Amino acid sequence: MKVSQIAGFLGSGKTSALMKIASRLVEQGNRIAIIVNDVGEISIDSRFVEANGLEAKEISGGCICCQIAGSFAETLAKLHDSFNPNIVIVEPSGVAIPWGLKRAAEYSEVKADMIVEHAPVITLVDASRIDMLLKAVRRLVETQIREADVCFVNKVDVATPQGIATTEEFIRSINERAEIAHMSTTTGEGIDLACEVIVNRISPRYDDSMEEERLRSQYGKKGGN
């Protein structure tokens, strides 16, 4: 079962993107479930879920990448045993850390007879309010970008050219290897690419050596003791 996460700060456009991506993937013949970590955010419209033949779960009560990783793993295992989707798209809370979510997803392997495969980590960055993000929540946004495989400069339909350029430069300054692309759920730009990335590519599993590498690049020292 493949797990795809769409990271990004609150308001970056995760729910809007997830709905477009999910319905496109269903059209392409995939069996899709969605999990939304509802931490005071707008939830998915149940009519949308029904109309698209999706299975949807909401998990609340804390962040699924840390505080309630266990219930997230449990939900994945149950989805596997009941609906059996080939892809689960997860909208973590706006403060989730992508690697924490990978680790939590892998916990589900002890709860059901399955192997978890990760789709590339997609991070959305809202180019229409990049100045505010850099002022108010810079470190969090940096972490979400650092751990991304593909970064979408989002809301390009309303962002200024300056906002788009600043966002691209910021992403590149933090993550040299991530693919950078534009997205707008209003015009549909970037949705096909996101679907292609989710279906055809994979991202490494969480493990201790990667954690160590992450600590080293983030804090300039070895993980562990």
Ligand X SMILES: Nc1nc2c(ncn2[C@@H]2O[C@H](COP(=O)(O)OP(=O)(O)O)[C@@H](O)[C@H]2O)c(=O)[nH]1
Among 41, 74, 109, 142, binds Mg ion (CB under 5 A): 41
Give CA separation, 63 vs 1, 95, 104, in Å.
22, 8, 11
Is 24 near ligand X (CB under 6 A)?
A: no
Stretch that binds ligand X, among 12-20, 27-35, 57-65, 215-223 (CB under 6 A): 12-20
The amino acid sitting at 211 is E
97 three-class SS: coil
Q: Provide, rounded to whole angstroms, the least separation between the CB of residue 221 and ligand X.
A: 32
Which CB atom, from 84 or from 186, has the smaller least distance to ligand X? 186
Say whether residue 12 binds ligand X (CB under 6 A).
Answer: yes
Is 211 buried (19+), middle (13-18) or exposed (0-12) by CB count in 10 A? Answer: middle
Could you tell me the smallest distance in angstroms from the CB atom of residue 91 to Mg ion?
Answer: 6
d(CA 37, CA 10): 12
Binding residue count for ligand X, defined by CB under 6 A: 17
Exactly one of 5, 108, 184, 203 binds ligand X (CB under 6 A); that residue is 184
Q: Which region holds residue 73: left if phi is over 0, alpha if psi is between -120 and 50, else beta?
A: alpha
For ligand X, the closer CB: 45 or 50: 45
Q: Could you list the residues that contact Mg ion (CB under 5 A)?
A: 14-15, 41
